[in-house]
Amino acid sequence: AALKVILEENLAENAAKLGKILEKELMTLPKQLVKEVRGKGLLWAIVLHDDLGFKAVDVCVRLRDNGLLAKHTHNDIIRLAPPLVMNETQLKECTKIIIDTMNSFKK
């Protein structure tokens, strides 16, 4: 049943299209905080520099407080996995939260 929905609603194509937009937006994150951005489709990771004075969990807590759920991995990686059914407007709302939250950590 799930596979039928994925095919009927073109969720793979949607993920590919939105993934390109997400990548473009994530590449604008401040380089003094972000060592690397990597991913494909709608699965992405933001890798933080090691010597920032805060960890990925701190960013994830602030993201949550700002209305977006993300998962930290180790001390320096923030995983993003938005739903396949989201639309471009919703994605742009999410990227605004991510960018604003990351900018709030700049010194």
Q: What is the pLDDT of residues 60-107, one digit of tens each?
A: 999 999 999 999 999 999 999 999 999 999 999 999 999 999 999 997
User: What is the C-alpha separation between 50 and 75, in angstroms, rounded?
Assistant: 8
Helical H segments across 9-104, by residue range: 11-26, 56-65, 88-103
Q: How many CA within 13 A on the CB side of residue 73?
A: 9
| SS3 (DSSP) at 16 | helix
What is the DSSP-derived secondary structure letter of residue 82? -
Q: What predicted TM-score, i.e. pTM, was given to this entire model?
A: 0.92
> Thinking of the domain 2-103, which architecture would CATH place it in?
Alpha-Beta Complex (3.90)
User: What is the C-alpha separation between 71 and 89, in angstroms, rounded?
Assistant: 22
Q: What is the pLDDT of residues 6-32, one digit of tens each?
A: 888 889 999 999 999 999 999 999 999
5: pLDDT strictly greater than 90: no
